[in-house]
Amino acid sequence: MTRKIYGLLVDNESRCQHYHTELDIVALKCFDCLKYYACYQCHDRLGGTHSFRAYPCHLKQDKVLICGVYQHEMVIDEYQEAIVCPNCHSAFNLACSKHYDIYFEK
């Protein structure tokens, strides 16, 4: 099942105008609207009435990230333990760890 990824997309693997290197292939789910966006900035630009809300870490069973290459959804722990997609083995942008507090709520 193909999931819709929103944002100012520049390709079909979830890269956007803000983050568009070969490694920028993970989209995030906003906790308020439960939609996947290429990045939090895309959400805040297009998301309507609310800002991007980080997903609570205690909801460990929820799939809240998606690899844009083959649409593999991940739980937070699965994503945090990976440097590549567990499904297609495409490399992730390790610099995204700098945005942990934007993506996930402790």
Both tokens assigned to 87: 């499904």
Both tokens assigned to 67: 């690899």
Q: What percent of the chain has pLDDT over 90?
A: 92
pLDDT for res 47 = 77
Q: What is the rounded distance in angstroms from the CA atom of residue 95 to the CA atom of residue 27? A: 14
- Decide if pLDDT at 1 tops 90: no
- The 8-class DSSP code of residue 86 comes to T
Which residue, chain included where needed, has tokens 């937070």?
A: 76
Span 13-71, pLDDT tens digits? 999 999 999 999 999 999 999 999 999 999 999 978 999 999 999 999 999 999 999 99
Q: What is the rounded distance in angstroms from the CA atom of residue 93 to the CA atom of residue 86? A: 14
pLDDT band at 2 (very low <50, low <70, confident <90, very high): confident
